[in-house]
Amino acid sequence: MEDSTNISLKLKQLQEFAKKLNKSLSKKRNNRDRIKYLEKLNEKTPRRFNKAYILERLGAFYLLEESSEKKGINCLEKSYKLYTKFYKEFCRKYPYNRPSFPLPQDTLAYRLLNLVKDFIPFLKKKPHWNYLRGENRKFLFSVLGQIYNDSLIRILDTGRHNWSNFEKIVRNRKIRGFVIENYGACYELFLNLSTEQSIFNANDKYPLARAIIVMYGSALEGILFDHLKKRSRYLNDKQPIEEWTLGKMINKCFERKFINPQSKLAVLCILILFFRNYIHPAKEIQRKEYFIDINLANIVRIAFDSALIEMINLKDIKNNKKNLPQKKV
């Protein structure tokens, strides 16, 4: 049996391959050239760990450049299956060194599948289907790509929003307190789950991930409720705002142009809505491979933090013509 030194050497070789590949990709002029390079490399690479990494990079570029998500998702699924296969083989061969091998659900392939596989079919339904057309599609995937990249940063290195930021966008004190409590609880849970001395065990991570996603969704609902309540005279809706769902609040903000439907903020709100609604027993029994874990909850955390920045940057929330975020991704 190989000792831990040889195992570490093999893992280091895999990391070096990833660095060299990324360096080669950075020298290409555009994503189309990167796709051609990866396609050729994939053809001549045997079914080893290196191939799994090539496929996940190829899948990510397909999502950005292709008019359909099918090729991208297909590559990511192949990559994830290879990672899973290698992880199982490693655990059988080196059962005492399994913590040293990366988990399949920590790979780029798995995280991207978790992010887009069910979200894209959701967008194909009205009223969000327009996000998958033409330039809107590229904008959508650029936002999703940025969220993914930010999710790779350790939470200790990302910081958090302070009380004054919430004061800028939530006027009602009770609602502001509700939003801040949810936000703070989520952050503290992430901090604890990110440390080796966590008070939670491995089985706690899944229900805690679901709880975190729901709390972020509720925090967004609190912000939009405060915003819409102050502008109720413009809404022309017989149903009291107190009875609205988060989905209706978002759609009403789009309808009244309180939020530009084609902005980054719109994409972030819809993403948070989708995953908040994803926490449901009926949907749980339909999932086969890509489950809700702390990585997915972290994606929702990044989306919420980004949405808050976009809200703070709105020029004039009272003026429909000037309240559209202009920051490009």
Residue-wise pLDDT for 157-166, tens only, equals 888 899 999 9
pLDDT in tens, the chain (329 residues): 445 556 667 777 878 888 898 899 999 999 999 999 999 999 998 877 789 999 999 998 998 888 888 999 999 999 999 989 888 888 888 777 766 677 888 888 888 888 888 888 888 887 787 888 877 888 888 898 888 888 878 887 888 899 999 999 999 999 999 999 999 999 999 888 877 778 888 778 888 999 999 999 999 999 999 999 888 777 777 888 889 999 999 988 888 888 888 899 999 999 999 999 888 776 666 665 556 788 889 999 999 999 999 999 875 444 434 333 333 33
Longest dimension (CA), the chain: 74
Helix 264-278 to helix 134-151 angle (10° resolution) is: 70
Q: In which residue are the tokens 């972030």 written?
A: 268
Question: How far apart, in whole angstroms, are the C-alpha atoms of residue 216 and residue 268?
Answer: 12
Which amino acid appears at position 244 of this protein?
W
Question: What is each CA distance from 265 to 133, 164, 198, 221, 310, in whole angstroms?
Answer: 18, 20, 33, 14, 6
The tokens for 91 are 């655990």
Q: Quick one: which of 288, 280, 254 has its CA closest to 268? A: 254
pTM, two decimals, is: 0.83
Question: How far apart, in whole angstroms, are the C-alpha atoms of residue 79 and residue 68?
Answer: 19
